[in-house]
Amino acid sequence: MQDRFINCIAQLPKPLSDALIPLLHQDFAGHIDAQQLAVLVKASSLTEEELLLVLLPVAATLARPPISDFHVGAIAKGKSGDIYMGGNMELPGEALFHSVHAEQSAISHAWLSGETQIVDIVVNFSPCGHCRQFMNELVEGAQVRIHLPEQKTQPLTHYLPYAFGPSDLNVTAPLLSKQHHELSLDSSDPMIIEALDHASLSYAPYTSSFAAVVLQTKDGTTYCGRYAENAAFNPSMLPMQMALSTMARHNRLFSEITRAVLIESAQGKISLVGATRDALHAVAAVELEHIVLEPV
């Protein structure tokens, strides 16, 4: 079991901790599949909703908030039945808009894992307005069920009435719906190929600035992030922040980054290079490789 989970595991009922510990191996980064979840439900004698609330301290352990020291954990349950944990993240010394909220972390975790719909969000503190707007961008986002400790489960519409969303801007394929954008680059570099693949899956209906980031660490492991836009613009999640959040979930230090690649489409109305470079330089002494692709 990873050391970072020792304290929260000690607070769990023993039948649950005994069943959970084998899952918290060195590679655990917050994903529990539907079959594993069923085993935990049985072992704990809790309902699934009760179990997910009890697991929130585990999700909060994935957080990395050096500015606020306020650890938020969130769990996104996909239509597949799998659950995806996430924690909030802040970049030391950088503007607060670089921060990633726990709900964003969990949802991006699910998206990168291939989920096409989120049905439940479980979080240890009430979602802020930023996160409510981010969730509203999802496929059937208005119907996502929000679970909070000691609160009645409610759909997102309860927390975000009269919402402004993708349909108001004539977007019919919202976040987590299948995306595939024709981007092409002649390269044999595995990192660039990976970035290209993720850029083609990114979500940028408002600017067409399809983009992705791939980070490589000293041992050759790569961590990726895709651009995820939002109808309200400001809650959009940048690919660098998504990649760094992925690293944090995997318990990797940002100082381990040895290479960073941003790929973005030349047809976009904006460029992410400035914000991406600022975020990278806040955590690692690495120069950003910036590749701009002409549309096919």
Catalytically active residues, by annotation: 103
Taking only Cα atoms into account, the Rg of the chain, rounded to an integer number of angstroms, comes to 19
Closest CA to 85 of 105, 70, 114, 111: 105
The annotated binding site for Zn(2+) is made up of 101, 128, 131
The annotated binding site is made up of 88-90, 101, 128, 131
CB-based contact 268:200 (threshold 8 Å): no
Virtual torsion, Cα 210, 166, 147, 44, nearest 10 deg: -40
133's CB contacts (< 8 A; 6+ apart) are 160, 163, 164, 230, 231, 232, 235
Task: Report d(CA 50, CA 206) in Å as an integer.
Answer: 38
The annotated binding site for substrate is made up of 88-90
CB-based contact 77:115 (threshold 8 Å): no
Closest CA to 137 of 100, 174, 112: 174
> Phi first, then psi: what are they for 92, rounded to 5°?
-60, 130
Report in angstroms the alpha-carbon separations of 14 from 25, 45, 149, 162, 184: 18, 12, 21, 44, 52
